Each structure stands twice: as structure tokens, then as C-alpha cells.
């Protein structure tokens, strides 16, 4: 995965330009208990800095001139909740389950840097103690799905890595995209695997400041560049093939320990659609191999799986929303399937053959789905 920060840098502990509205004349919170977050180009104002643990809703307004992101961060910079691609002049809501403790709410104007942060505290016991058997079943089923995808990825990635190590350029190119499908399907919860994502799926322009591409860039996209752009497999690439397998085996072990919740499933699916709109529809993700539509399909299948498992809960609380999501998931899937190169197969048109107008159609369909998907988390925890 690309430029999205998987973990905010520890150096960001130094809080930047914090603007607090706590104690000011403004109302303490939104009328329904939500916390208002007002983001601008130079500030990140929150309507209150203490709130009960449990269900947290942030009503975010971007008053700035650039696209922004909003995060809820643990003290060690792990991400508790996030929303990307919040356009200037737009509003959105973020819903998450938050345990008692200290956090930071961070706005990231321009989607760059460490963000403008505000310290906040969730007080009391975890108010989300009231568990839903249906939601628990959804999480358990989803964890099983993720584990199955991870295990099925290993032999495909092994075949790809072996081809790289053998210097077999043609086979490595053929095996590259299939080796990534399982990973792409699990990306809604990629954040829960710790530092695996930046090790296996980062692009060169997604490296952290100060990292050296020659030494620090690992994973599929580094090998993609070697195969398609550089046209050579050297000793470094062969070592990176082994490193990829080591990291993927670690990924499989982490699935059982990953913190997955109903809201992280829902928010992850929405974030993944944002990712598709930002990098896959534009062709940035697979810029050398042009296998973007394979990734796109895997992402859509993963997001759909997350939604399907949550649907029994969400449909009771918001049946209109789930009806809308069914329609838009189907529409995007139908559109994407027109690019299959063979019926029933997993081959797709090379993305450099997809024209500007067609990319716009794909982008519109993704955005049409992303809008109602942003409401799924709230429907799950009503």
C-alpha cells in the first residue's frame, strides 16, 4: 500500500500547532454527543478533550483549502481510527470503539507530515462492554477469512519468489499479480498487522522521510520495478524475494493476534475504497506492471466480504443504508468485470490500456460506493 501512513512516526510525539476549543465559548460537543473536529490548513480544533470510553463519533468539518485526514491515535502512534481524503469544505463522520485512556486526535492538511494534534482522554471503563453476539460472530468470521487469505497467499508468493531467485523474468512477471490477491483482499484491516504493510506493499514514494530506497525499500513493488522498469534481477532482488517470504510468514502469524472490531472492519473497508480512488484508479499503485485492476478486484472483494459479514447487524439498524450498499457494490463489481480478459478468470486488462473516460467511470463508481460505506460503522454500533 502506498503513501498512506501505516504508523505515524514516533518523532511526532512533539505536538504541532495544537488549537483547542476546550473551555471556549463554543458548545462542548455536537448535539447528539458527537465531538466536533474542525480542521483547517493550520489548526485542528476539537469541541472537547474528554469523553466517555466506548462509542466515539467525530463530526469532522474541513474548513481548510486542501484535502485533509483525521486520525485518532494511541500514545505510541498506532491508529485507533482514521478517515482520509476529506475534501475542502466537506464534512464527514468517523465512528470507532475507544477504550479508556489517552489519545490524540490529529488532522493532516494536505495528507502530509505528522499532523496537527490535540490530546484527548477517554474516561471511565470501556463503555462498549455490552457485546453483540451478531457483531462478535462477524468479527470471528472475518478473522477466519483473513487467515484463509493469508495462508493461500503463501504458496503463490513462494512461486513468485522462487522465479525471482531463479532469475526467470518471464515467470516472475506472470506470477507477480496473482501472488498479491490475498493480500489485497485483507487490506481493510492491514493496519492491524503492525509494520507488515510498509514492509511488503509500500511504493518508493511511500517511504518515510530519511529512508533510503536502496536500503529500505522492500516488498512487492520494489520487485515490480526491477522486473518491469529495470529489466534485471540481481543479487539484491533475490535477497528481497526471501525477505518478502519472511515478512509474509510473519503476517500469517499476526492474523490471530490482530485487533479487529466491527468498526475497524467497516472503517477499513471505507478507507480501502479511498485508497482505490486515490491510487488504483489513477494507476499509481502498479505503475510498472499496470496490473492495477487485479488489485482493484481484490480490494473490492475484501471490502465486500467485510460488509457482507456486518450486514446482518447493520440491516437491522439502517435497512436503507444496506440496500444502497448492495446496489452500489453490485454496480461497481459489474463495471469492473467488463475488464476481465477471460470469463471466470482473474485476468484483467492492462491498466495502461484503460482510457481517461473509462478511468473516470471507475472513479465515479468507487466514489458512489464510498459515500454510503462511510456510514456503515455508525450503523453497526447503533
CATH topology match: 35-123 vs 133-380: no
The predicted structure's pLDDT at residue 130? 57
Q: On the CB side of 288, how many CA atoms lie within 13 Å of its CA?
A: 17
pLDDT in tens, the chain (382 residues): 444 444 443 333 333 333 333 323 233 333 467 999 999 999 999 999 999 988 889 999 999 999 999 998 877 666 788 888 899 999 998 988 888 888 999 999 998 777 899 999 999 865 444 567 888 889 889 989 999 999 999 999 999 999 999 999 999 999 999 999 999 999 888 888 888 999 999 999 989 888 999 999 999 999 999 999 999 999 999 999 999 999 999 999 888 778 888 888 998 898 888 888 887 889 999 999 999 999 999 999 999 999 999 999 999 999 999 999 999 999 999 999 999 998 878 899 999 999 999 999 999 999 999 999 989 998 988 7
Q: Three-class SS string for the chain?
A: CCCCCCCCCHHHHCCCCCCCCCCCCCCCCCCCCCEEEEECCCCEEECCCEEECEEEEEEEEECCCCCEEEEEECCCCCEEEEEEEECCCCEEEEEEEECCEEEEEEECHHHCCCCEEEEEEEECCCHHHCCCHHHHHHHHHHHHHHHHHHHHHHHHHHHHHHHHHCCCHHHHHHHHHHHHHHHHHCHHHHHHHCCHHHHHCCCHHHCCCCCCHHHHCCCHHHHHHHHHHHCCCCHHHHHHHHHHHHHHHHHHHHHCCCCCCHHHHHHHHHHHHHHHHHHHCCCCCCCCCCCHHHHHHHHHHHHHHHHHHHHHHHHHHCHHHHHHHHHHHHHHHHHHHCCECCCCCCCECCHHHCCHHHHHHHHHHHHHHHHHHCCHHHHHCC
The predicted structure's pLDDT at residue 58? 94
**Span 35-123 CATH architecture:** Sandwich (2.60)
**Span 133-380 CATH architecture:** Up-down Bundle (1.20)
Measure the CA–CA gap between 1 and 251, rounded to whole angstroms.
Answer: 15
Q: Which residue has the cell 484491516?
A: 189
The predicted structure's pLDDT at residue 276? 86
Q: Are 314 and 375 in contact (CB under 8 A)?
A: no
Q: Which residue has the cell 518491469?
A: 228
Question: Domain ranges in the chain?
Answer: 35-123, 133-380
The predicted structure's pLDDT at residue 5? 40
Amino acid at each position: 500500500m502506498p503513501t498512506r501512513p501505516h504508523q505515524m512516526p514516533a518523532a511526532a510525539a512533539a505536538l504541532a500547532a495544537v488549537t483547542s476549543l476546550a473551555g471556549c465559548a463554543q458548545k462542548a460537543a455536537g448535539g447528539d454527543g458527537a465531538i466536533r473536529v474542525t480542521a483547517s490548513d493550520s489548526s485542528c480544533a476539537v469541541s472537547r478533550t474528554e469523553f466517555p470510553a466506548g462509542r466515539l463519533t467525530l463530526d469532522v468539518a474541513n474548513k481548510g483549502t486542501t484535502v485533509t485526514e483525521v486520525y485518532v491515535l494511541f500514545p505510541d502512534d498506532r491508529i485507533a481510527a482514521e478517515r482520509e481524503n476529506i475534501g475542502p469544505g466537506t464534512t464527514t463522520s468517523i465512528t470507532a470503539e475507544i477504550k479508556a485512556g489517552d489519545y490524540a486526535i490529529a488532522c493532516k492538511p494536505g495528507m502530509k507530515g505528522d499532523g496537527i494534534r490535540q490530546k484527548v482522554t477517554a474516561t471511565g471503563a470501556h463503555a462498549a462492554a455490552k457485546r453483540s453476539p451478531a457483531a462478535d460472530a462477524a468479527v470471528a468470521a472475518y478473522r477466519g477469512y483473513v487467515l484463509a487469505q493469508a495462508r493461500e497467499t503463501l504458496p503463490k508468493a513462494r512461486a513468485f519468489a522462487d522465479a525471482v531467485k531463479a532469475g526467470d523474468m518471464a515467470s516472475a512477471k506472470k506470477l507477480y499479480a496473482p501472488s498479491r490477491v490475498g493480500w489485497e483482499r485483507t487490506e481493510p484491516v492491514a493496519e492491524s498487522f503492525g509494520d507488515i504493510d510498509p514492509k511488503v506493499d509500500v511504493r518508493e514514494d511511500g517511504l518515510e522521510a530519511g529512508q533510503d530506497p536502496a536500503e529500505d525499500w522492500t516488498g512487492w513493488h520494489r520487485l515490480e520495478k526491477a522486473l518491469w522498469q529495470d529489466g534485471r534481477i540481481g543479487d539484491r532482488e533475490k535477497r528481497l524475494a526471501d525477505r518478502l517470504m519472511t515478512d509474509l510468514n510473519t503476517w500469517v502469524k499476526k492474523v490471530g493476534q490482530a485487533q479487529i472490531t466491527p468498526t475497524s472492519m467497516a472503517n477499513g473497508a471505507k478507507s480501502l475504497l479511498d485508497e482505490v480512488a486515490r491510487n488504483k484508479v489513477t494507476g499509481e499503485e502498479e505503475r510498472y506492471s499496470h496490473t492495477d485492476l487485479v488489485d482493484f478486484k481484490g480490494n473490492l472483494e475484501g471490502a465486500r466480504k467485510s460488509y457482507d459479514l456486518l450486514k446482518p447487524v447493520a440491516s437491522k439498524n439502517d435497512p436503507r443504508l444496506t440496500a444502497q450498499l448492495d446496489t452500489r457494490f453490485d454496480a461497481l463489481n459489474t463495471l469492473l468485470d467488463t475488464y476481465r480478459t477471460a470469463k471466470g478468470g482473474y485476468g484483467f486488462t492492462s491498466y495502461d490500456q484503460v482510457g481517461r473516460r473509462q478511468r473516470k467511470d471507475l472513479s465515479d463508481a468507487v466514489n458512489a460506493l464510498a459515500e454510503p460505506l462511510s456510514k456503515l460503522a455508525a450503523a453497526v454500533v447503533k
